[in-house]
Amino acid sequence: MKIKYLYIGALVLLSACTANDEALLPAGAVELKGITASIDNGTGASTRAVPEVKDAIGRTAFANGDKIVFTKIERTENAIDPFIYSNIPYEYDGKNWNRTTTDPEKIYWTDGTSFHTFIGYCLPSAITTWEPDDKRVYPAELGAGKDEIDFSSLSEGNNEMAKEDLLLYCNKSALAASDGVTTNVSLTHALSNVRVIVNIKNFAASASATDTQTKVIDFKLLSQPTKYTWGGGSNTLSVVKYEDNNKKTIKLWCPQPDGEGTAQSKTFTFYGLTTPQNETYHSIIGNNKPLQFSFTVTYPDPMNPNGSPLVKTYQGAFDKTVNFNSGQCTTLNISLNHKDEQMFLGAEYSDWSFVATPDLGELRKKSTYMSNVDETAIVTSGQVDNIDDATWLYHVGSKVYDIYGNDGESAAAAYCITSSLQLLAFAKEVKNGNTFEERFVRLDADITMQSSATAEDYQWKGIGEGSNVFNGTFLGGDRYINRLSGSSLFAALGEQACVEQLYITTIGGVANGALASTNAGVIGGCKVIDDVNLTGESAGALVGTNARAGVIHACYYTGTGNLVGNQTAENHGTIVGCYQASDITSFTNKYLEEYVGKLNGDLATWYSGDTAKYRTKFSYTFTPGNYPTVAVK
């Protein structure tokens, strides 16, 4: 005789003495006969996978013969004695998921609203054995039986990433579908997706140089831990690394071997899978070693263009811990600098993504301030082959180019600054009398001046001083100068100067204004973020002194204090469409929206009548509860 409990709310029903387990079922309680499974399409909270993509990573759809095993199906709310089922397998026949056993204990939904917990997995084909220990912890290994994991040769029928891509499922509020006999489950990726973007923009000397034909190949992550576990503990979806020395090289896949983009604006994107690793894991096992990598660069020999290409293998390491999170994508940005082969490195984290082509304009290249200030070169005579990384500009005849081949004569060919060392070189150029009049300079990377939020290793001395003013056009490019300390970024902006779309954060004290100590030119669409510690008499967060000829439009400051200092009746210049945080902190959204309208109205009126005083028009965007942001109109 078997007694079976079935629940409706707090009501307990006992089945009669019978061999038929389906006898006397309460009304509305039906057997769960099947499931509808999918791979998370973006509606889930942890990961997303785009189902129809050209370049796919891992599994984006199920194949005939795939299996899902629910390690636990549990009633978790409104039950007197929660019932639990374990190890319920389903198999995919190409169209439907069906139970693969005839377990006599059937799964029943007792009503249409009670919460349940579904926990399970779908194994990739690379895992052939999957036996849990006594704590129901499941072990596995990337590239089991192999010394190196090779994802580089992906093709139809040979998708190594799909073979390794473990899918997990956990839902604490699963409900029966409208038919009452099935439920929908959406599995997510358990391992870490790694994407590497190698940018050669700073590697090529010019747009026409032979090294624009550079190819980046054979990207490898070195010494990657490959064993991992799943299950156990209170967090049943956690993927935890084994504490072992089973390290392997992981070779990544490049879907577009010839690169994306043309000439200097070219990137190479690589993809792969690795085990989740984070700061907690590193601290537990005492492994704070940096992430190591290698790749090979090939490019034509300039002395023998028709001969064999030159081949160079690079090795590098990230100096800080790079996290690989379960079910998420870590993007590693690597920007190759010029001839000395220096690399700028950065890491970003996002949901699992299959985007194979990055937007180069949004690629954030990082650098940290350097100490060899006295070795920074200024304009030098000589041929291109004499360039080293410390040289930013060089002569060819009577013209001056930057190391990327730009002549600075237009916004499209602006001299590019992509590192802190080049920013130093720019400052020394102005200090030595180069005003850059009728020339364009563009910030092409976020520059971080200090190595940390507390360091003040180098006190900035300013671009230009005394009679050595900057009189060119400086295009900020929607990028940041971070952790500025010492003097203003520009000591003096002359009457022909224009600075646009530059953003600044500071650290320590800044003498007068973060952007400029004195301004006699035009500043537009710029902002200073957070508080500025001003130490000079002419104190303003953005500008210390705005001279009579100075114009500041569509700029703002999010800290406390004044946007511009030293504003007297005799010395005020023109300030239009600007604001500081204290102007709006007490506004409701209604008044904030009206204030944004007023700012835009003031700018529109001024733009229509004073066309000689600005280069670009800007306007503000209202966002509820946030500072109005500025962009090109």
- 449-508: per-residue pLDDT in tens? 776 667 666 678 888 876 789 999 999 988 889 888 888 999 999 999 999 999 998 877
Query: Which range among 128-132, 200-204, 272-276 shows the weakest confidence by mean pLDDT?
Result: 200-204
50 or 597, which is more confident: 597
Would you state the pLDDT for residue 155? 62
CB of 281 within 8 A of CB of 241? yes
Q: How far is CA 522 from the centre of its chain?
A: 33
pLDDT at 580 over 60: yes
The structure's pTM equals 0.54
Q: What residue type is assigned to position 291 of the chain?
A: L
Give buried/exposed letters for 454-465 (b at 16+ CB in 10 A, else e).
eebebebbbbbb
CB of 580 within 8 A of CB of 541? yes
Query: Which range among 49-58, 171-180, 256-265, 432-441 shows the weakest confidence by mean pLDDT?
Result: 49-58
As given in the structure block, the two tokens for residue 488 are: 């203003």
Query: Which range among 274-278, 398-402, 543-547, 606-610 shows the weakest confidence by mean pLDDT?
Result: 398-402
pLDDT band at 342 (very low <50, low <70, confident <90, very high): low
190-to-70, 170, 181, 221, 274 alpha-carbon distances in Å: 15, 11, 28, 19, 10
433-to-374, 378, 394, 397 alpha-carbon distances in Å: 17, 11, 16, 20
Query: Which range among 1-15, 130-144, 385-399 shows the weakest confidence by mean pLDDT?
Result: 1-15
pLDDT at 208 over 80: no
Q: What residue type is assigned to position 132 of the chain?
A: P
pLDDT band at 30 (very low <50, low <70, confident <90, very high): low
Query: Which range among 129-133, 202-206, 471-475 shows the weakest confidence by mean pLDDT?
Result: 202-206
Would you state the pLDDT for residue 273? 92
Would you state the pLDDT for residue 543? 93
State the CB neighbour count (10 A cutoff) for residue 30: 17
Residue among 150, 357, 387, 402 at smallest CA distance from 258: 357
Percent of the chain exceeding pLDDT 70 equals 67
Quote the CA–CA distance of 201 and 205 in Å, as a whole number: 9
Would you state the pLDDT for residue 469? 92
Residue among 266, 362, 357, 262 at smallest CA distance from 55: 357
Strand partners, 265: 262
- Sign for the CA dihedral angle at 150, 153, 158, 163 comes to positive
Would you state the pLDDT for residue 213? 72
pLDDT digits (tens, 9 = 90+) for 55-112: 567 887 888 888 888 888 776 554 444 567 778 888 888 888 888 876 556 676 655 4
> Mean of the per-residue pLDDT values for the chain?
74
Would you state the pLDDT for residue 473? 96
Quote the CA–CA distance of 55 and 350 in Å, as a whole number: 18
pLDDT digits (tens, 9 = 90+) for 509-539: 888 899 999 999 999 999 998 888 887 666 7
Quote the CA–CA distance of 483 and 452 in Å, as a whole number: 8
pLDDT at 143 over 70: yes
Instruction: Provide the 8-state DSSP code for 50.
Output: -
pLDDT digits (tens, 9 = 90+) for 146-169: 989 999 877 655 688 888 999 888
Q: Put the strands of the sheet holding 227-230 in their side by side order.
A: 138-141, 227-230, 239-241
